[in-house]
Amino acid sequence: MTGFRVKHGMTKCNMETLTEGFRKALSLILNLDKELLGIICLSLKVSGLALLISTALGLPIGALMGLKRFPLRGVVVSFMNTFMGLPPVVVGLFVYLLLSRSGPLGFMGLLYTPSAMVIAQTILAFPIVTSLSHSAIVSVDPIMQQASITLGATSSQVTLTIIGEARYGIMSGVIAAFGRVMAEVGAILIVGGNIAGYTRVMTTTIALETDKGNFELAIALGIILLLISLSINIFLHLIQKKSMIRTK
Amino acid sequence: MKLIVSDIWKSYNGNAVLKDCSFSFDSNNTYALMGPNGSGKSTFLRICSLLEEPDKGEINYFSGENILKKDIGLRRRITLVLPKVGMFNTTVLKNVAYGLKVRGMGRKEIEERASNALEFVGLTHKRDQNALTLSSGEAQRLGIARAIVIEPEIIFLDEPTASIDMKNTKIIEDIIIKMKEQKGTIIILTTHDIAQAERLAEKILLMNEGKIISIPPF
């Protein structure tokens, strides 16, 4: 019976904490709290940069995989597809070992810096952008390539045309990768160290503040993360809706 | 002579489709290439328009220049309208403008020439519509507009009226007749319809055992 009472008491307490947390979180958001804004900005900066680098690398490689025939192409495609599901903590561990003082890239002094976080997130986003770009490009009807050749396009113009035709699929891949890195916590926690005002981003702050019992900041960031996720999904939906015209 | 095809051979998986295929096409003429399915008509057109390479042989046109050199300047003087047009996922106007854009033409000239080509095939009212929403007959007309806008010296039309209704077939035939009268290009088309071949072409050719033979007028 005691056990039930304790459990009931804790639930009541948690509900109050949650309500109070929400109230304070909204106040933080509405008052544009400086610490909150700093964390959001760093999150967007790190993930945005990682996305930019992974797209700059992944899109041409995805296009190459989709348009050219080369030895072991199937193996490369399979590897890329597998790497889409890379566990963030494993990536974090790998980057940590590379950048730690005794590691091969330790001399660069990047561990526990935003740059290390960008590297880790780039590794996570790159296979997603590459693999989904490849899928989008191979799903373009081969007739499009022939049509552009017959209309006088050079081989580089043909490639750009095919990438243009695959644009909605590619954009979906880029947005999916952004969603993945924005929500990721394991890798950046390991390589960034969660240093306040320097490497602390939304997800790592949520983890830390929850541990400390400071729910208001965690909830405020959770709401913002959800809003970002919702925006990403709405955008994805709009892209998919626009690309649906192809199948009509 | 404007297009001379000499001793072309082409095989797929050991099956010879074109065997020592040769023919000379005169300028300002329309040719209808006929023959049963699998006789090599489309392969012949695809080779002549550089979509595929022959195993052996030579194609010379315009003062003896060998088309197989893959010179882009030379290639841009010919075009092929595929049976399945392959429309780009953009507006009808931008589809027509594509061939001009890849040639680096100015925006104003592109707009003017593309609009004229659309008027030629009767698709002006659809210019701002997404090309993927067109019916199959309209799509075929768009394919022709994309081809004529680049003012090629040779146009290959691979089954331009296959799988479209009678009304659109008539419209496309009228466009081809208008092309013959106004554009002065060599038109080489494939068809299964002998009546259509007679309506559109000065010369009817038969593809038989991988070779082209000329049929005398009926």
Are A143 and B79 within 8 A, CB to CB?
Answer: no
Q: Measured between CB atoms, does A139 come within 8 Å of chain B?
A: no
A35-247 is classed in which CATH architecture? Orthogonal Bundle (1.10)
Residue B196 lies in a domain: yes
Closest alpha carbon within chain B to A166: B89
Residue B11 lies in a domain: no
Q: How many CA atoms lie within 13 A of B28 on its CB side?
A: 3
Cα(A152)–Cα(A159) distance, integer angstroms = 13
Label each residue of chain B as H, E or C. CCEEEEEEEEEECCEEEEEEEEEEECCCCEEEEECCCCCCHHHHHHHHCCCCCCCEEEEEECCCEEHHHCCHHHHCCEEEECCCCCCCCCEHHHHHHHHHHCCCCCHHHHHHHHHHHHHHCCCHHHCCCEHHHCCHHHHHHHHHHHHHCCCCCEEEEECCCCCCCHHHHHHHHHHHHHHHHHHCCEEEEECCCHHHHHHHCCEEEEEECCEEEEECCC
Which of B89, B102, B130 lies at the smallest CB-CB distance from A151?
B102
> A155-165 and A167-183 are packed helices; what angle lies between their axes, rounded to 10 degrees?
60
Q: Measured between CB atoms, does B70 come within 8 Å of chain A?
A: no
Are A150 and B72 within 8 A, CB to CB?
Answer: no
Q: Measured between CB atoms, does B40 come within 8 Å of chain A?
A: no
Are A149 and B132 within 8 A, CB to CB?
Answer: no
Q: Which residues of B touch A157 (CB under 8 A)?
A: 102
DSSP string, A31-63: TT-HHHHHHHHHHHHHHHHHHHHHHHHHHHHHH
Instruction: Determine the distance in angstroms separating the CA of A116 from the nearest CA of chain B, rounded to an integer.
Output: 40
Q: What is the pLDDT of residue B97?
A: 97
Are A150 and B82 within 8 A, CB to CB?
Answer: yes
Residue B208 lies in a domain: yes
Instruction: Determine the distance in angstroms separating the CA of A64 from the nearest CA of chain B, rounded to an integer.
Output: 20
Q: What is the pLDDT of residue A6?
A: 41
Count of domains in chain B? 1
Q: What is the pLDDT of residue A248?
A: 44
Question: How distant, in Å, are the alpha carbons of A21, A53, A106, B169 from that of A110?
Answer: 36, 17, 7, 68
Instruction: Determine the distance in angstroms separating the CA of B88 from the nearest CA of chain A, rounded to an integer.
Output: 7
Q: What is the pLDDT of residue A239?
A: 79
Cα(A30)–Cα(A7) distance, integer angstroms = 34
DSSP three-state, residue A103? coil
Q: What is the pLDDT of residue A31?
A: 86
Q: What is the pLDDT of residue A10?
A: 47
Residue numbers of B between 108 and 137 with CB closer than 8 Å to A: 130, 132-133
Are A152 and B49 within 8 A, CB to CB?
Answer: no
Q: What is the pLDDT of residue B70?
A: 63
Q: Which residues of A touch B100 (CB under 8 A)?
A: none
Which residue range forms the structural domain that includes residue B138?
31-39+70-215
Q: What is the pLDDT of residue A150?
A: 94
Q: Residue A7 pLDDT more than 50?
A: no
Instruction: Give me the interface pTM, i.e. the ipTM.
Output: 0.91
Q: What is the pLDDT of residue B67?
A: 61
Query: Higher-confidence residue: B64 or A96?
Result: A96
Closest alpha carbon within chain B to A155: B72
For residue A146, give every residue at least 6 positions away whose Cβ sits within 8 Å of its Cβ, in sequence order, or none.
Answer: B51, B82, B86
Are B72 and A152 within 8 A, CB to CB?
Answer: yes
Q: What is the pLDDT of residue A28?
A: 83
Residue B184 lies in a domain: yes
Are A151 and B98 within 8 A, CB to CB?
Answer: yes
Q: What is the mean pLDDT of each run of 10 residues along chain B (218 residues)?
A: 85 91 86 91 91 89 63 85 93 97 96 96 95 94 95 93 90 92 86 93 90 72
Instruction: Determine the distance in angstroms separating the CA of A136 from the nearest CA of chain B, rounded to an integer.
Output: 14
Are B86 and A146 within 8 A, CB to CB?
Answer: yes
Q: What is the pLDDT of residue B2?
A: 78
Which of A143, A151, A161 lies at the smallest CB-CB distance from B79?
A151
Q: Which residues of B touch A143 (CB under 8 A)?
A: 82, 84-86
For residue A169, give every residue at least 6 positions away whose Cβ sits within 8 Å of its Cβ, in sequence order, or none.
Answer: A132, A133, A135, A136, A137, A139, A243
Q: Residue B75 maps to which CATH number?
A: 3.40.50.300
Q: What is the pLDDT of residue B184?
A: 73
| Cα end-to-end span (Å), chain A | 64
Q: Residue A114 pLDDT more than 80?
A: yes
> A142-150 and A155-165 are packed helices; what angle lies between their axes, rounded to 10 degrees?
140
Residue B1 lies in a domain: no
Matching residue, tokens 């033979």:
B213
Domain boundaries defined on chain A: 35-247
Residue B136 lies in a domain: yes
Q: What is the pLDDT of residue A1?
A: 37
Residue B21 lies in a domain: no
- Percent over 90 (pLDDT), chain A: 68
Q: Measured between CB atoms, does A244 come within 8 Å of chain B?
A: no
Closest alpha carbon within chain A to B78: A150
Are A150 and B81 within 8 A, CB to CB?
Answer: yes
pLDDT digits (tens, 9 = 90+) for A116-169: 999 999 999 999 999 999 999 999 999 999 999 999 999 999 999 999 999 989
For residues B23 and B213, the answer to whether their CB atoms sit within 8 Å is no
Q: What is the pLDDT of residue B69?
A: 55
The segment with the largest mean pLDDT, out of A36-40, A67-71, A86-90, is A86-90
Residue B131 lies in a domain: yes
Q: What is the pLDDT of residue A3?
A: 38
Which of A143, A157, A246 lies at the smallest CB-CB distance from B82?
A143
